A = this chain, B = another copy of it.
Amino acid sequence: MTAITQNTGTAATTDAELENHLAAAHVAAAPLAALRPADRAVLLDTVADALDAAVEELVSLAQQETRLAEGRLRGELKRTTFQLRLFGEVLRDGGYLDARIDHADPEWPMGAPRPDLRRLLIPVGPVVVFAASNFPFAFSVAGGDTASAIAAGSPVILKAHSGHPELSRATAAVVVSALSAAGAPEGTFALITGTAAGSAALRDPRVKAGAFTGSIPGGRALFDIASSRPEPIPFFGELGSNNPVFVTEAAATERGSEIAEAFMGSFTMGAGQFCTKPGTLFVPASSGMVEALRTAALPGAAPLLNDRIQSGYAEVLQGLQSHPRMAVLAQGEDPLADPPSPTLLLTTAGDMLAEPHALQAECFGPTAVVVEYDDGSRLPEIAETFEGQLTATVHGTDSCDVSGLLDVLARKAGRVLWNQWPTGVSVTYAQQHGGPYPATTAPGSTSVGTAAIERFLRPVAYQGFPQHLLPEAVRDDNPLGVPRLVDGRREGVR
């Protein structure tokens, strides 16, 4: 998404405050890592309960600062506390440790005896998380990055987003207080504000990973900081995505107007401020879908998150709609006003093949581009022109031959959808919210779903240790009851 992290400048964290937070996080790393996973789950549950208890205050602050609707915000907070508790379940299960035991084997066919080796994942150490503006709960102070990092056992330095400073402070106060009440090590979590403090934290040698949700320029700048440190560290940035949607001819014939109507709802959901907003819709020419979209009722204007998003949106929209290969397909009365009416632009597959980069620019807000195509067999070729995506969607029928298109989309995107819409990212075991660059800076990772915990872990193998010196998860008697791979076989599997 395209919201940009910026310091309001009024109450930025000072160097001395930052040093205190970093020192505390460094000290907290060992005791937080040493907690049994089930005990860290209690921390997460306690934070979730405290956030639920503070719902009235938090939602009220969020409404004031983000201009999002109350119902949406209540739902988002529910999702956020569910997410914290789900990571608690992940910890109690223990599969996330990827525990492996190889017993010593003098006959190992490699040509040399196999020593006793025991491998598990341990926390990476302190993490800097950069909050996003568009989900003031789910991708902010107590959002998925914070939840998964603390679940992993890594202390969090949270760089607040300037778009909701009071909500950030209030949420952080709830988190810090709940962690303290639950017995978490001091320094497990701290809030910082200001871009300078965020960059300084990311440069600090005590910090071992970074996570970010935001714009391509902002995310790339932070990725470059993380990668150019004397000790480079992993940086998990979720940046931009166009989220193209392809409607096959058969689907357009069968239910073109239904798809058109649902698309209207999806690209304007949350005023188009979702990372997964479908930004481009491919429809067959002469299917009537373009006409259906032209005449469909456009949703009303809705306010954007803040003035910077509003002005950025207006700028990108003006650039897109004045492009010689673009026409306006449908538009409300005040497309550039605050709040802006939604806009649908129109172009052709040939134009998109000619200038993919310009016509696929992400527009953060209630605008999308409709692309007419004549020849469905060229959709794979058109799909190839897209950069890495969070999502890609096909609307088809059972009779469609879409295997070529799906092959391309699986290479391009982290999540591929069939006859559904990408907005709304369910927090589950099999969710994948990530993809090749620029969707993310780490295409092997996800920032939503239980696998998000993997970002803040690293493997360690113990060789030749007596039982009493081993981490509990890889002792022979398995006191934590975690699932394990023992001599190459899954323990406890029939």
Chain A positions within 8 Å of B, measured between CB atoms, are 29-30, 34, 75, 78-79, 82-83, 89, 93, 95, 98, 100-102, 108-112, 114-115, 117-119, 122, 124-125, 208, 223-224, 227-228, 231-234, 387-388, 398, 402-403, 406-407, 410-411, 413-420, 424, 426-432, 434, 436-438, 441-444, 446, 449-451, 454, 457-466, 468-469, 483, 485, 487-488, 490, 492-494
Query: Quick one: which of A232, A430, A438 has the most chain B CB within 10 A?
Result: A430
Compute how far the CA of A469 lies from the CA of B232 in the bound complex, rounded to whole angstroms: 40
Residues of B within 8 A of A443 (CB): 124, 234, 458
Copies in the complex: 2
In the complex formed, the residue of B with least CB distance to A220 is B232
5 new A-B contacts, CB < 8 A, other than A122-B410, A416-B460, are A115-B426, A119-B430, A119-B449, A418-B464, A419-B464
Query: Quick one: which of A446, A469, A487 has the most chain B CB within 10 A?
Result: A469
Interface pairs A-B: 10 shortest CB-CB: A432-B461, A100-B430, A119-B430, A227-B227, A117-B430, A420-B464, A78-B111, A102-B430, A417-B463, A418-B465
Query: Quick one: which of A100, A117, A388, A463 has the most chain B CB within 10 A?
Result: A463
Compute how far the CA of A349 lies from the CA of B187 in the bound complex, rounded to whole angstroms: 31
Compute how far the CA of A231 lies from the CA of B411 in the bound complex, rounded to whole angstroms: 14
Query: Judging by beta carbons under 8 Å apart, are B407 and A30 in contact?
Result: yes
Query: Judging by beta carbons under 8 Å apart, are B119 and A461 in contact?
Result: no
21 A-B pairs with C-beta separation under 8 A: A79-B112, A83-B110, A95-B490, A102-B426, A108-B426, A110-B426, A114-B428, A115-B426, A117-B426, A119-B430, A227-B232, A231-B387, A231-B436, A234-B442, A234-B443, A234-B444, A417-B464, A418-B465, A418-B469, A420-B464, A444-B457
Query: Judging by beta carbons under 8 Å apart, are B430 and A118 in contact?
Result: yes
Compute how far the CA of A418 lies from the CA of B411 in the bound complex, rounded to whole angstroms: 44
Residues of B within 8 A of A398 (CB): 466, 468
Taking the closest CB of chain B, its distance from the CB of A150, in whole angstroms, is 18
Query: Quick one: which of A118, A413, A466, A488 has the most chain B CB within 10 A?
Result: A488
Residues of B within 8 A of A411 (CB): 29-30, 122, 125
In the complex formed, the residue of B with least CB distance to A468 is B398
One of B429, B432, B459, B492 near A488 (C-beta < 8 A):
B429
One of B444, B449, B463 near A416 (C-beta < 8 A):
B463
One of B208, B469, B492 near A494 (C-beta < 8 A):
B492
Given A443-B124, A459-B451, also A75-B112 (CB < 8 A): yes
Taking the closest CB of chain B, its distance from the CB of A445, in whole angstroms, is 8
Taking the closest CB of chain B, its distance from the CB of A247, in whole angstroms, is 15
Query: Judging by beta carbons under 8 Å apart, are A110 and B124 in contact?
Result: no
Residues of B within 8 A of A223 (CB): 227, 232
Taking the closest CB of chain B, its distance from the CB of A92, in whole angstroms, is 11
Given A457-B444, A492-B493, also A119-B431 (CB < 8 A): yes
Query: Quick one: which of A227, A424, A429 has the most chain B CB within 10 A?
Result: A429
Taking the closest CB of chain B, its distance from the CB of A144, in whole angstroms, is 12
Residues of B within 8 A of A459 (CB): 414, 432, 434, 444, 446, 451
Residues of B within 8 A of A114 (CB): 426, 428
Taking the closest CB of chain B, its distance from the CB of A459, in whole angstroms, is 5
Residues of B within 8 A of A419 (CB): 464
Residues of B within 8 A of A119 (CB): 429-432, 449, 451
Compute how far the CA of A459 lies from the CA of B414 in the bound complex, rounded to whole angstroms: 7
Compute how far the CA of A330 lies from the CA of B89 in the bound complex, rounded to whole angstroms: 57
Residues of B within 8 A of A118 (CB): 430
Query: Judging by beta carbons under 8 Å apart, are A420 and B469 in contact?
Result: no
Compute how far the CA of A119 lies from the CA of B410 in the bound complex, rounded to whole angstroms: 11
Compute how far the CA of A465 lies from the CA of B488 in the bound complex, rounded to whole angstroms: 32
In the complex formed, the residue of B with least CB distance to A123 is B411
In the complex formed, the residue of B with least CB distance to A74 is B111
One of B95, B208, B420, B426 near A112 (C-beta < 8 A):
B426
Taking the closest CB of chain B, its distance from the CB of A176, in whole angstroms, is 25
One of B232, B427, B434, B493 near A441 (C-beta < 8 A):
B232
Residues of B within 8 A of A462 (CB): 415-418
Given A109-B82, A483-B493, also A115-B420 (CB < 8 A): yes
Given A414-B459, A442-B234, A459-B414, also A428-B464 (CB < 8 A): no
Query: Judging by beta carbons under 8 Å apart, are B82 and A111 in contact?
Result: yes
Compute how far the CA of A132 lies from the CA of B224 in the bound complex, rounded to whole angstroms: 28
One of B427, B449, B485 near A429 (C-beta < 8 A):
B485
Query: Quick one: which of A30, A441, A443 has the most chain B CB within 10 A?
Result: A443
Compute how far the CA of A438 lies from the CA of B229 in the bound complex, rounded to whole angstroms: 12
